Structure 1
Amino acid sequence: MLTVACAAAPSAWADDTALLNRGNDPFLQVSAAVPACPEPAGPRVSEAEWMRESHHRIEHGNHCWLEGRCRLPNAYQYDKDVADSLQRRLHTLDLQLPAWRRSSLWITVSARWILVQGCTAPDFPAAAFFAALREVADAERVIDQTTATPARGVPYPLFHPAAAAPK
């Protein structure tokens, strides 16, 4: 039995540097109008990064329950519902604030936090857009990591497709 387990293990260890969404955090590209906008890494991390962050994720996930701010015992249990509500809210914004679509945005939902990364047009209605996202049910915080000048750099880590490919 030990021989079989050891024989299978190297293939599992071979991908320890691959960037994967190890926490299954909802990660959505919601617009794609700025062609030169680099894709964020989003929730994709290596195994080493995942292990380094695991203690923080556990503490962050349970913190709102311990403080009495969550009805569920872990903040990450809200993420799928927050992502679903977010998509409905974005659909409503299409009708109310269509200018937001002149952007290239990716959104990560993690522990009730909505992280918006990407590039916007100079006339992007940021105040109204982020105010609308703060209305998403069960969202605790909305974080803006966008730029209207991607040629000067972006305020987020970039996705490197080669690192995401299985080895």
Structure 2
Amino acid sequence: MLHFVDALLDCAFFLYCVAHVRCMVRRSDCTETVQESFVIAARAARPYREGIGDGIGIWEAAMREHRTIRRRAARACSASALVVAIFVTFSAAAMAQAQASSSDPNEVRNWYNDPFFALSSAVKACVQPLGPRMTKAEADDDAHYRVERGTTCWLAHKCSKPNSYLYDADIAQAIRTRFKGDASLARTSLWITVQRRFVYAEGCAGVHFDSAALERRLSAIANVEQVFVRVSADPHAPPPYKTMPPSH
């Protein structure tokens, strides 16, 4: 009987961690999902419950009497979440490296698919910024640092998601929605890059454009950590941001 209950508990710890991490990534209510994982564990034990009564009832009793379950689950989930955080970032880096290995080494592209888009396009002569695009060698070199930078936010308890890059798509969509048809961008050509909750606004705007106001509005968007506004008043002057190499 004790071995049976211990096996159920071990199964529950694993399922709890999986459910906890899934809820954390999806930002959903974890209570119902975690309870569901307990039921799944009990149902998995049905073939072995002959002669010991109702497996789910024994399970619930064991859970109530097991005083250390929360501490064990907390430790297990912390470790599981860390593994997931590293796995998510490493997977993206590995995918980028795989793409790079089969491509032209001199090709400049957005290997990691970071959000990069035009917010406005009134100044036709404005030079497009480099944004998140890089060469194969740069992508390879950046892989390790993305893993480290991506998980730092979660380890510092500043993010609920296990990787700060997981916020970028939602941030980009929020920016598109917030500034759609915005009159303040009427005489500008601006591009937005979002990387690990950092927002870069680069391009061209008139001399009277309020860069500080744009920075404040971008900073007010949920989950944005830092904003960098780099704009030029003269589209024919050297821009204050990196651009595509001349050969591209």
SS at match of 2:227: strand
Q: Give the Cα separation in 2 of the matches to 1:56 and 1:43.
A: 14
Equivalent pairs, count: 150
SS at match of 1:151: coil
Kindly provide the CA deviation profile for residues 83-110 of structure 1, in whole angstroms up to 9, marking residues without a partner as x: 111111112x71xxx1322111100011
Q: Give the Cα separation in 2 of the matches to 1:62 and 1:14.
A: 28
Q: Give the Cα separation in 2 of the matches to 1:31 and 1:14.
A: 31
Gaps of 5+ in 1: 1-8
Task: Indicate whether 1:112 and 2:201 are aligned.
Answer: no
Gaps of 5+ in 2: 1-97
Structure 1 segment 4-153 matched on structure 2, within 5 A: 12-91=101-180, 94=182, 98-153=183-238
Q: Residue 3 of structure 1 corresponds to which residue in structure 2? A: none
Higher relative contact order (CA 8 A, sep 6+): 1
Judged with a 3 Å threshold, the aligned counterparts in structure 2 of structure 1 residues 48 and 106 are, in CA distance, closer, same or farther, namely same
- Quick check: 1:89–1:133 contact (8 Å CA) kept in 2? no
Q: Residue 158 of structure 1 corresponds to which residue in structure 2? A: 243
Q: Give the Cα separation in 2 of the matches to 1:140 and 1:69.
A: 10
Q: Identity of aligned pairs, percent?
A: 38
Letter in 2 for 1:28: F
Normalising by structure 2, what TM-score? 0.56
Q: Give the Cα separation in 2 of the matches to 1:52 and 1:132.
A: 33
- Quick check: 1:65–1:74 contact (8 Å CA) kept in 2? yes
Normalising by structure 1, what TM-score? 0.82
CA root-mean-square deviation: 2.0
